[in-house]
Amino acid sequence: MMHRFLLCLLLLVWLVFSGPRAFAESLEDKPNLIIIFTDDQGYGDLSCFGGKHVYTPNIDQMAKEGARLTSFYVAAPLCTPSRAALMTGCYPARIDMDVPSSLEIKMKHIPPGRKMPVCLEGDGRGLNPKELTIAEVAQSAGYKTGMFGKWHLGDQPEFLPTRQGFEEFFGIPYSHDMQPKHPRQKFFHFPPLPVLEGEKVIELKPDADLLTRRITERAVDFIERNKDDPFFLYVAHPLPHGPLAASPQIKKEYAEQLKVNGAGKPGIFPTTIYEIDWSVGEVLKTLKEQGIDENTIVWFTTDNGPAGGKGSAKPLSGKKGSTLEGGQRVPTVIRWPRGIPAGSDSDKLTTAMDILPTFAKLAGAQLPEDLVIDGKDILPTLVEGAQSPHEYFFYAHWGILEAVRWRSWKLRIVDGKEALYDLDKDIGEKKNVAANHPEIVEELKAAMRGFEEEMEASVRPAGMVENPVPLTK
């Protein structure tokens, strides 16, 4: 009996002094995971990231109770490749998703050597159903899975969320501007925007003003119905991608708060952001009401930098479509009361590709031994402040490798022009110091060549459907 008592005492001492990671790994309950993913939101488009033009009290409180990740990257500065990397833990080049879907292509930005897109009413290309998604990882560990919002990884039935590990889906197959009034309608012949319930079209031409609210209501309902089971919830807001929109209730509420405290600026963009913040607040409130707040990971981030003049990437340079920091370093907040130290910041290099392997470990899921992914388990970085597991991070646009980061150094090569930046001293990429550090330039150029060779040798094909048909037909 005394021997057993001493063993229990030693175990208790070990848990107390081994830090949050050991404590988290000792828990029997699997943590829930919620990813809230917005569209075209810049690094400076949260007030907790320095934005003065927006007011985001719920996300600010989330940061106080969790952590800001200030060097968090998405794998591409465009929608589809970025989302493919999030879902699979892979660089887009590895899974043949490094060029946007045909529906997303902008004619004037086609690089040399790329084919002109044909006029389409549906897209035959999408995320290969053979790829392992984070939703399928969750399912393998006994999780309920649901997605609400914008998918944009293929609009044919073979590519929809319900074929990629999600038991429930409500939302739109691609961006909400892809419909007959789109400026490039003459090239693409967009049909009316469909709303899907599972794989069934239930509505056409939804009111954009109500998208955030409807998605939020479905997310809240999913939490309430699955509170007694571990779950993975993916909330993919179509906004603040244009055209900007917000519900009548939020427009009124935001106008009133401007009069009360003066935080934020007037206009439809900050109003749109305010409604996204409201949505986050509704999710967090529901978790507390259902008694599952302590062991639910909520991960808030976005797919790429701001699209135009409304959003802000400050203090970064660049925007959506650019491999400057503002195109791929995105505002990120993570909250997990049971594992993440409250009020902490991490400037360690982390990526959206890391969510899959990190979550797999927490959920007790076994990844296939022969599966090659690029994401890393960043749990020690998040809960213990350990160094980033990434030696390099590679930036690509339109399938063209343009930059690499190593520690604080970033080498960017565009149109044959080389630029080296020390991001610790020059986060805005204003001072090219390549001439002062030729040895670092050569080392990073070699790393880029190695990355390209690896991707070319190991690329896995995207999914393809012959004779694609619009969902509306």
Predicted pLDDT of residue 222: 98
C-alpha 335/C-alpha 153 separation (Å) is 27
100-141 per-position pLDDT tens digit:
555 444 444 445 444 333 334 567 889 999 999 999 999 999
Strand 409-414 to 417-422 pairing: antiparallel
362-410 per-position pLDDT tens digit:
999 999 999 999 999 999 999 999 999 999 999 999 889 999 999 999 9
Q: What rounded mean pLDDT belongs to the chain?
A: 90
Helices (H) and strands (E) in the chain, counts: 13, 18
Predicted pLDDT of residue 9: 39
pLDDT band at 28 (very low <50, low <70, confident <90, very high): low
251-289 per-position pLDDT tens digit:
999 999 999 988 999 999 999 999 999 999 999 999 999
Task: Please compute the mean of the pLDDT values over residues 225-229 and round it to a whole number.
Answer: 97
Predicted pLDDT of residue 185: 63
C-alpha 210/C-alpha 323 separation (Å) is 33
Task: Please compute the mean of the pLDDT values over residues 146-171 and round it to a whole number.
Answer: 97
Is the pLDDT at 10 greater than 70? The verdict is no
* 75 Cβ contact partners less than 8 Å away, ≥ 6 residues apart: 81, 82, 85, 86, 90, 91, 92, 328, 351, 352, 353, 374
Is the pLDDT at 180 greater than 70? The verdict is yes
20, with CB counted inside 10 A (0-12, 13-18, 19+), is middle
Q: Catalytic site residues?
A: 79, 152
Task: Please compute the mean of the pLDDT values over residues 333-347 and round it to a whole number.
Answer: 96
**Contact 349/70 with Cβ under 8 angstroms?**
no
Task: Please compute the mean of the pLDDT values over residues 154-179 and round it to a whole number.
Answer: 95
Predicted pLDDT of residue 100: 59
Q: Flag the least confident range among 27-41, 201-215, 216-230.
A: 27-41
Full set of structural domains in the chain with CATH? 30-390 (3.40.720.10)
Predicted pLDDT of residue 310: 87
% of the chain at pLDDT higher than 70: 88
Strand 344-346 to 67-69 pairing: parallel
Containing 19, the helix (H) or strand (E) segment is: helix 19-26
Report the candidate in 153, 89, 133 with the shortest Cα–Cα distance to residue 351: 89
Predicted pLDDT of residue 418: 98
40-84 per-position pLDDT tens digit:
999 999 999 999 999 999 999 999 999 999 999 999 999 999 999
Is the pLDDT at 330 greater than 50? The verdict is yes
Strand 200-204 to 194-197 pairing: antiparallel
* 12 Cβ contact partners less than 8 Å away, ≥ 6 residues apart: none
Is the pLDDT at 32 greater than 90? The verdict is yes
119, with CB counted inside 10 A (0-12, 13-18, 19+), is exposed
C-alpha 327/C-alpha 76 separation (Å) is 8
Is the pLDDT at 235 greater than 70? The verdict is yes
Which two structure tokens, joined as six digits, stand for 108?
Answer: 């004037």
C-alpha 150/C-alpha 172 separation (Å) is 5
pLDDT band at 341 (very low <50, low <70, confident <90, very high): very high
Task: Please compute the mean of the pLDDT values over residues 221-245 and round it to a whole number.
Answer: 97
Predicted pLDDT of residue 188: 66
C-alpha 464/C-alpha 123 separation (Å) is 9
Which two structure tokens, joined as six digits, stand for 148?
Answer: 């609400």
19, with CB counted inside 10 A (0-12, 13-18, 19+), is middle
Q: Flag the least confident range among 23-37, 242-256, 430-444.
A: 23-37
